[in-house]
Amino acid sequence: MLSRIAIYIVVAMVALTANVGAQEQTAPEVADQYLNDAIKIKADSRVQDAFEHIVAIEPQSRRDLIELTEIPAPPFEEQVRAERFAEMLRESGLVDVSIDEVGNAVGKRPGRKSDRIIGYSAHLDTVFPAGTDVTVRFDDEKMYAPGIGDNTRGLVTVLGVLRAMEHANIETDADIWFIGNVGEEGLGDLRGVKHLFRDGAEKIDSLIAVDGGESSRIVYGGVGSHRYKVTFKGPGGHSWGAFGLANPHHAMGRAIRIFDENAPSVTTVGEKTSYNVGRMGGGTSINSIPFESWMEVDMRSGSQDKLDDIDAVLKAAVEQALQEENADRLDGPALTVEVARVGTRPAAQQESSEPLVQRSMAATLAFDIQPSLRISSTDSNLPISKGIPAVTMSRGGISGNSHSPDEWWQNDDGHIGIQIGLLTLLTEAGLAE
């Protein structure tokens, strides 16, 4: 095992990083100490017992997957699923289980030293709106239902790790919090993890999130986004009779032109950074000066500095457009503008030498699977952006068509994903002697 070549290509997600040559093609090594540690813990008799239990409870994991999948969990409506998941944490052996102010289900498993807290989480929410048929259908080996893979299977993986630890009486040095969190998808805007890692909260020292396909995949950094709704407002009036009033649509046109002209100073150099005006609206009729004009803007980058730069370009363009439109008006009051932030995902970067990243790679390698490091947009973004180590790992099994009504999951060696998760968690939390 030790003779394996512990060098891996970073597979940066092509769609996210294809543009500029600055993306890393580094080959991070797994240091011997982490590999040795993973191999030693994997060989421990209690851990072997836990691994066997993960296989033995597959019928139960299957029942859990069907039950949880069939409890709808649209964005901002995760409550019923959160309550059932909390109950399952109790049934699995945890005593201290609660649902916090934003709806996260959190079950605390004390460690022997209790000097650190390790979070082990999966998100509760799906992308599907209320009313979506979430009945599980079966076709051969595949199980079909919206949200069955992303991320209901993640919840089952968290439960599987907990059940195996309880069965094998495994104790850790650090406390472990088993978490089903809200708000990972879309406009949920990471509000679950934002709450867990808020200022003044009990400090979680590192996070292992379960969310993603192949067992080799480890997300260790994230693409961040800033999203705005920009609205110009004025009195509005008749297109002929009130001609000369400042026009919100005209101001918006100026803003987009200025933004589009100045943005390349950020987007054509360094790390990939994108911007997009995705939706626009306002106005009442062809012969009315509109009283408002709005647009929604999405900007993304893997670098927080670049994200802040493109953000500043947008705000300056909006301000300049406002001044120009007001200066050119012939009559009436000045336009005003509102720039409302409607989404924030911090960009997040961490070194592959970070111990948690090393441990997740070592645990994967201990199962003879070549780990591949990626950047993506997951719950890990948030802690990493605050300097707290985090990775997002596989839920086990294979899946497809995520975020579509034809989503499926198949138990193709699904236990291995759970076992790798357990091994990573034990190397991070410390197996108590």
User: Which is nearer to Zn ion, 151 or 350 (by Cβ)?
Assistant: 151
CB of 224 to Zn ion, least distance (A): 17
E strand or H helix at 279:
strand 273-281
User: Which is nearer to Zn ion, 85 or 259 (by Cβ)?
Assistant: 85
| Token output for 110 | 């004390």
The Cα 290–Cα 88 span in angstroms is: 54
User: Which is nearer to Zn ion, 225 or 303 (by Cβ)?
Assistant: 225
The Cα 181–Cα 193 span in angstroms is: 7
CB of 163 to Zn ion, least distance (A): 22
Q: Pinpoint the alpha helices (H) of 71-145.
A: 79-91
User: Which is nearer to Zn ion, 211 or 428 (by Cβ)?
Assistant: 211
User: Which is nearer to Zn ion, 213 or 302 (by Cβ)?
Assistant: 213
Give the largest CA-CA distance in the chain: 86
CB of 92 to Zn ion, least distance (A): 22
User: Which is nearer to Zn ion, 193 or 246 (by Cβ)?
Assistant: 193
Q: Give, as ranges, the residues between 342 and 401 that touch Zn ion (CB under 5 A).
A: none
Quick one: angle between helices 414-429 and 154-167, nearest 10? 60
CB of 401 to Zn ion, least distance (A): 13
Instruction: Sort residue 273 into left (φ over 0), alpha (ψ -120 to 50) or beta.
Output: beta
- Give the 3-state secondary structure of residue 344: strand
Q: Give, as ranges, the residues between 142 and 181 that touch Zn ion (CB under 5 A).
A: 150-151
The site string for Zn ion over 274-303 (x = CB under 5 A, - otherwise) reads: ------------------------------
The Cα 258–Cα 272 span in angstroms is: 20
Instruction: Sort residue 103 into left (φ over 0), alpha (ψ -120 to 50) or beta.
Output: left
CB of 96 to Zn ion, least distance (A): 26
Question: Segment contacting Zn ion (CB under 5 A): 30-38, 206-214, 264-272, 328-336?
Answer: 206-214
User: Which is nearer to Zn ion, 23 or 380 (by Cβ)?
Assistant: 380
Q: Give, as ranges, the residues between 32 and 91 that touch Zn ion (CB under 5 A).
A: none
E strand or H helix at 64:
helix 58-69
| Sequential DSSP letters for 187-209 | GGTTHHHHHHT-TTSPPP-EEEE
Is 77:134 a contact under the CB 8 Å cutoff?
no
CB of 62 to Zn ion, least distance (A): 20
User: Which is nearer to Zn ion, 6 or 124 (by Cβ)?
Assistant: 124
Is 198:204 a contact under the CB 8 Å cutoff?
no
CB of 73 to Zn ion, least distance (A): 11
DSSP code at position 28: P
Number of residues near Zn ion (by CB under 5 A): 3
The Cα 99–Cα 107 span in angstroms is: 9
Q: Give the number of other CB atoms < 10 A from CB of residue 202.
A: 9
The Cα 89–Cα 81 span in angstroms is: 12
Question: Segment contacting Zn ion (CB under 5 A): 38-46, 204-212, 317-325, 393-401?
Answer: 204-212
Question: Segment contacting Zn ion (CB under 5 A): 173-181, 207-215, 352-360, 381-389?
Answer: 207-215
User: Which is nearer to Zn ion, 155 or 251 (by Cβ)?
Assistant: 155
CB of 113 to Zn ion, least distance (A): 32
CB of 104 to Zn ion, least distance (A): 15
Q: Does 211 bind Zn ion (CB under 5 A)?
A: yes
Binding site for Zn ion (CB under 5 A): 150-151, 211
